Amino acid sequence: MIKELVFATNNKYKAEEIQSILGSQYKILTLTDIGCTVDIPETGNSFEENAILKSSYVTEHYQQDCFADDSGLEIEALNNEPGIYSARYSGIKDDRINLELVLQRMEGVTNRKARFKTVISLMKNGKNTLFEGVIEGTIRQVPAGDQGFGYDPVFEPFGYNVTFAQMSMTEKNRISHRAIAMQKLIAFLKGQADPS
């Protein structure tokens, strides 16, 4: 019997991508598939806490195994802000305004080091397992590129001379923080590795 696993997202494309990698071992369901229309509150103080809140909510209310992720940008010179508030750094969910605020706060700052971080929480058989993905880079002074979303136009990963927003989706998905965490999750689900 194929096991069902809920991905706490409404992004059908993301779910299909994971499904294609996992093959027939699991059937991936989205929040829409299980009838969850609640905007699950992210009230934690860390990426780990927020990811656990989302996966636990689904397991508790729908009695199904689930994985959820939380991600954000951490800038060294800003005490790791925007961090868990990346999507609403300015107080509202507006990518352009949030990006402008980051650039404004980074004006004249020479230390441009930053990293994107993702934490995935897998709630399976009543047990929680965490997977982390991190990519280090720098914050550009001027945005470049029109791909991606959020802070992609100002984030240049180490070893590249382009921003995430100048990469194709395929290229970004090969090296991104989310991709690193997802590969660890997938390897764990396939039974090929432990999560450490």
Provide the annotated active-site residues.
70
- Residue 57 · residue 63 · CB < 8 Å: no
The string of DSSP letters for 108-147 reads: T-S--EEEEEEEEEEEETTEEEEEEEEEEEEE-SS---SS
Distances (CA, A) of 49 to 43, 70, 147, 149, 162: 8, 9, 29, 23, 32
Q: How many residues does the chain have?
A: 196
74 secondary structure, DSSP code: E
How far apart (Å, rounded) are the C-alpha atoms in residues 55 and 163?
Answer: 31
How far apart (Å, rounded) are the C-alpha atoms in residues 49 and 40?
Answer: 13
In this structure, the strands spanning 3-7 and 26-29 are parallel
